[in-house]
Structure 1
Amino acid sequence: MPIVAQSSTETDWVSRFADEVIADSERRAPGTKHRGAPAAPAIVVASGISPSGPVHLGNLREVMTPHLVADEIRRRGHEVRHLISWDDYDRFRKVPFGVDGVDESWAEYIGRPLTSVPAPKGSPHPNWAEHFKAALVESLAELGVQYEGIDQTEMYTSGAYREQILLAMRKRGEIDAILARFRTKKDPGKDGRSGPDPKRQKQQKSQKPVDEAELEAAEGSGAATEDDGTGSAGYFPYKPYCGGCDKDLTTVTAYDDDTTALTYTCAACGFTETVRLSEFDRGKLVWKVDWPMRWAYEGVVFEPSGVDHSSPGSSFQVGKDICPIFGGERPIGPMYAFVGISGMAKMSSSKGGVPTPADALKIMEAPLLRWLYARRRPNQAFKIAFDQEIQRLYDEWDRLAAKVTDGTVLPADAAAYSRAVRTAAGELPGTPRPMPYRTLASVVDITGGHDEQTVRILSELDPANPVGDLDEVRPRLDRAENWITTQVPADQRTVVRTEPDKELLASLDDEARESLRLLLEGLDSHWSLEGLTTLVYGVPKVMAGLAPDAKPTPELKVAQRTFFALLYRLLVTRETGPRLPTLLLAVGTDRVRKLLGA
């Protein structure tokens, strides 16, 4: 299917932001439209990820929001750069709970740069930051996210920001005055310049209450909670990492603008030294100055951020007034809302932590995960399903695909679908024959992933168009199998009886026996998914003296539930289980006859 540029009249949020970003970029770089003018510079959108622990699905919104906007801009023929700043020069704030290979001894590294903290035991990576960065890099490749990575440890330690650091120190009085307005006012912005963004305030007020798990999943970069540089010796927007212990528990005690001589002491080890800041590269600007400095340095036009950056006095609000000091302006920056997890308690791979993109991609295909971020506006919270809800989610996705195919889809839904299945670079890999996820999950649940049994059952679902090879239903089949094996508790897995329940069969009344006889009598002539669906729903209708295609009544629905419960008890010992037509196909005619007392 060809890639079609989205019209600016589209109703989806991505197109609207793309319109704003393109217009703002042209405003910032005027004079590039006339004949003979130099080519317009690439439009810059940005994300920031602090690899301080597992990068979870809440953090992924920090990447997916600008990715989707950048991709739309590319589709329209513009050059765009999506920068991801790896904030690996942030301090190590705390030891995350439940990470394999990490114990309480890692507390001794609190205060060091993330790139100076050892990786978890057994990791092939050289340090903490690289360990957690690697998993996200792999997931972004699978998701089709095109970006340019910027390593902040490298930027700071190479001296790339030296002039910006010296400028911030010269302008520290001006920066301090800006911060002071936010420190002393509960609701800053009476002057119309330094206050919170009204749109963001409205977005925050519209958020629904969230539980603790969602708050954890929404937690942003650790840098968001850093101090702003205020100390007893005055205000200094720069914090050195100690030359004795490599921690940032330092206080600048003196600075000379002419010589750039800077003196600091360390509260952790007592080390003190005087350095020339014009030659010193072992420290960084405090977060509320670092972020707006980078907006100017990189020319960022669009960068979203989480709720933690959006309250009065937070980094995004303060950055509006600090960025001009560095010769730039604050980017368009929508606030993004929480990403919750449905069924998170069943997670095993994260060992108690919130799930990561890699965890999600084990149980769902990349286009589906992309769709979850594309179909909701950034300020709308949503949940990602790890429980039974994933089956309903896949049903919704398949219905959307069918509407796209037959041309009945709404424009905004079509746009979200297009953004999910392809990027400006091309189509994402998909399943050639996307059978219902719930069906595939039921089959692998019953077969235990046995390939020969699986292909036999799948081939019988639609005898007129049988599945001949499992590759036809991959990778969706593999995702469904991973979901069954990692997310469904053992006591909810399906175990088919090996022998009939003679005691239960002997206790049945004549009506129950007759319903089983009717079912067994119709097996051969109804042996397909559609046929067995008609049969299992039709038996209670016939028992009630109705035609097999009669519309169900409330009384009939009760009779059907009773009949289904009996079949489940006789086949899998419980009163619930996979959809009965799928279960019957999986068990096979001979075994069904045996277990039902034929």
Structure 2
Amino acid sequence: MPTVAQSTETDWVSRFADDVIAESERRAPGTKPGSGSGPDSAPVIVVASGISPSGPVHLGNLREIMTPHLVADEIRRRGYEVRHLISWDDYDRYRKVPNGVPGIDASWAEHIGRPLTSVPAPAGSPYPNWAEHFKAALTDSLAELGIEYDGISQTEQYTAGTYREQVLHAMRHRGDIDAILDRYRTKDKPKKQPQKQGQKKVEEAELEAAEGSGAADEDDGGSGASGYYPYKPYCGGCGKDTTTITSYDDETTELSYTCAECGFAETVLLSEFNRGKLVWKVDWPMRWAYEGVVFEPSGVDHSSPGSSFVVGGQIVREIFGGDQPIGPMYAFVGISGMAKMSSSKGGVPTPADALKIMEAPLLRWLYARRRPNQSFKIAFDQEIQRLYDEWDALERKIADGSVLPADAAAYARATGTAGGELPRTPRPLPYRTLASVVDITAGAEEQTLRILSDLDPEHPLTSLDEARPRLDRAENWITTQVPAEARTVVRAEPDHELLTSLDEQARESLRLLVDGLDSHWSLDGLTTLVYGVPKTIAGLEPDAKPTAELKVAQRTFFALLYRLLVGRDTGPRLPTLLLAVGADRVRKLLGA
């Protein structure tokens, strides 16, 4: 297998890694980036992701993690020390009750405005609060995907006073922050260009894809009678952020606030008070400076004029004396056969959902092969079979050396990390074949093993474990994503009415097929047989090139076989179906 280093000529991950290393050298000239501790060494290279566990963390959110992961992994492969920081924005306010989440009801609305870590988890959850419930499912998936990271809880950071000096500094410079924000508040919104309807829908979907994240609020604080403040206390009475600061003294750090929700009011010393946080447009750049972040991507909603990433670049330099990270915009991730993803609308597929129907390397590959600004779809419908075919074809190109460099790099990044190879299926049989077999057998292991062993009689499968985990993923796809009415049910008895209505040519076609079963009993052999019968009927040689007329005859023959075997005009690929049904039962159903 080629290494990433051999295949990076046109690889976007390598180009970003080059930029990150160069930026690290710029920030600490004369030192080797990521060289660790020591008087002549630079800090470890930091790349970052931010995830708000406000609901199911979906496959669009995964791009926020996968993009820096791939770049960090490339930097590690080059021998540098790098830290991938995932900031859990669990001290964000609970904004709305999401749809489609089991174990909750309308009563959760009473918690709107409280930190995510102060909201009860859905009923029946083993986790102590809302944020931990939704973090847990994602962390399991990240482990399966081979993603190495350091997680930081913003609840823990703020309530421990970790950012105290940064909070006090922001409050002292609140006038300067307000002036920066005002540069964008006073700008006229850019005129929208005429859009095609399809383009408009895609852009709207992209802008909503980050819904549910802390960043989605684009909160820059507010100005009241006493001025602008970049800090928001959580109320000491009701625990919500429905508070307004009424006064603040820079010298004593005495802060007074009132709560619009419950009427509570108090005066505290901000130098000792830990129940609040900087507003988002100040919080994000503060953390860039505090953590020394060199690379962090952002969604399309953060890249417009006046958005948090653009404004953050001004604030991190002018207020906190830091540098804005290299920040590529990442585009929308869709689901094949589903509407666009939004955490608040419910039913959005998560990484855990995807990993039930596809192996981790395939999911990694979908993110690795596309530049961050390219949108793509993840298949939960029949398209997953084509994706697996494409993946298997790539593996064959890797094996015979015909692969393009960028494709080889994406494959290497998908199948392993700097820490080693990801688990893989020993005998990766075609996904569509596995799906057809488990569809027909309803997962019966003995029958499944018999059929899979017949696929290649010269090298029969000796155990289903050889086909796992791909076999299990295909079975999960059939049982969870394929509607019951689309499942394959083999007829119990022959369709005598149809058989007696056939003309002589159709009967001869069935006879040729039945007579050739034993001598063609393998996947390749049966493929040759079912395509060859119409050629023989037409008086053509077995290797004859298909004509328009022959293709019509083949489709007609295939439809007849499907009706006699499964009572429909279509079904799984016929060679697989024949293997699954078994020669004796095929003969019976075809009237032999």
Structure 1 length as normaliser, TM-score?
0.94
- Secondary structure, aligned partner of 1:210: helix
Q: Distance in 2 between matches of 1:37 and 1:167?
A: 29
Task: Determine the structure 1 residue equivalent to 2:72.
Answer: 70
Q: What CA distance in whole angstroms lies between the structure 2 residues aligned with 1:386 and 1:216?
A: 21
- 2:498 is matched with 504
1:278-289 aligned within 5 A: 278-289=271-282
Query: Secondary structure at 1:546's aligned position in 2?
Result: coil
After superposition, give the CA deviation of every residue in 1:288-334 in whole Å (9 maximum; x if it has no partner). 00000000000000000101111110100000110021121110000
Q: Say whether 1:237 aligns with 2:230.
A: yes
Q: Which runs of 5+ in 1 are unaligned?
A: 189-200
Superimposed CA distance per residue, residues 443-469 of structure 1 (whole angstroms, 9 cap, x where no aligned partner): 000000000000000000110111111
Q: Which residue of 1 aligns with 2:12?
A: 13
The residue that corresponds to 1:246 in the other structure is 239
Deviation of 1:4 after TM superposition, in Å, equals 5.2
Query: Is residue 391 from structure 1 mapped to residue 391 from structure 2 by the alignment?
Result: no
Corresponding residue number in structure 2 for 1:270: 263
2:51 corresponds to:
49
Q: Helix, strand or coil: the match of 2:490? A: coil
Cα distance in 1 for partners of 2:523, 2:93 equals 57
1:565 aligns with 2:559: yes
TM, length-normalised to structure 2: 0.95
CA displacement at 1:220 relative to structure 2: 5.9
Map 1:58-457; keep pairs closer than 5 Å.
Answer: 58-186=60-188, 209-210=201-202, 216-219=208-211, 221-233=213-225, 234-324=227-317, 325-344=319-338, 352-457=346-451
Query: 2: CA distance between counterparts of 1:86 and 1:559?
Result: 60
| 1:250-291 per-position Cα deviation (integer Å, ceiling 9, x unaligned) | 111110111101111111101111100000000000000000
Gaps of 5+ in 2: none
1:473 correspondence with 2:467: yes
For 1:357 and 1:19, how far apart are their aligned partners in 2? 29
Percent identity of the aligned residues? 82
Amino acid at match of 2:500: A
In structure 2, what residue type is equivalent to 1:46?
A
Partner amino acid, structure 2, of 1:51:
P
- Distance between the aligned counterparts of 1:428 and 1:531, measured in 2? 34
C-alpha distance in structure 2 between counterparts of 1:286 and 1:367, whole Å: 38
| 1:24-83 alpha-carbon deviations (Å, 9 max, x no partner) | 001101122599962222100000000000000000000000000000000000000000
- C-alpha contact 2:247 2:255 (8 A) present in aligned 1: yes
Amino acid corresponding to residue 424 of structure 1 in structure 2:
A
Residues in 2 aligned to 1:252 and 1:33: alpha-carbon distance in whole angstroms = 46
- 1:346–1:489 Cα contact (<8 Å) kept: no
- One-letter amino acid of the structure 2 residue matched with residue 575 of structure 1: D
Is the contact made by 2:2 and 2:398 (CA closer than 8 Å) also made in structure 1? Answer: no
Displacement of 1:3 after TM fit?
5.2
Between the aligned partners of 1:55 and 1:456, the Cα distance in structure 2 is: 40
The match for 1:586 among 580, 584, 589 is 580
- Whole-angstrom CA distance in 2 between matches of 1:215 and 1:453: 48
Q: Whole-Å Cα distance in 1 between the matches of residues 563 and 166 of structure 2? A: 72
TM-superposed CA distance for 1:405, in Å, is 1.0
Query: In the TM superposition, what is the alpha-carbon distance from 1:114 to its structure 2 partner?
Result: 0.0
Q: CA deviation at 1:354?
A: 1.0
Residues 211-262 of structure 1 deviation map (CA, whole Å, 9 limit, x = unaligned): 8766654436133314311222210000000000000011111101111011
Question: Aligned letter for 1:304?
Answer: P
Q: Deviations over 1:333-368 (max 9, x none)?
A: 000000000123799xx9942100000000000000
2 CA distance for matches of 1:217 and 1:562? 45
- In structure 1, distance between residues paired with 2:388 and 2:12: 23
C-alpha contact 2:2 2:408 (8 A) present in aligned 1? no
Q: What CA distance in whole angstroms lies between the structure 2 residues aligned with 1:551 and 1:2?
A: 37
Secondary structure, in 3 states, of the residue corresponding to 1:542?
A: helix
Alpha-carbon contact 1:66-1:303 (below 8 Å) kept: yes
Q: What SS class does the counterpart of residue 46 from structure 1 fall into?
A: strand
> Which one-letter code corresponds to 2:170 in the other structure?
A
- Alpha carbons of 1:469 and 1:288: their partners in 2 closer, same or farther (altered >3 Å)? same
Residues 237, 213 of structure 1: alpha-carbon distance in 2 compared, 3 angstrom cutoff = closer
The aligned amino acid for 1:29 is A
Distance 1:29 1:139 in 2: 35
Q: Is this contact kept in 1: 2:4–2:408, CA < 8 A?
A: no
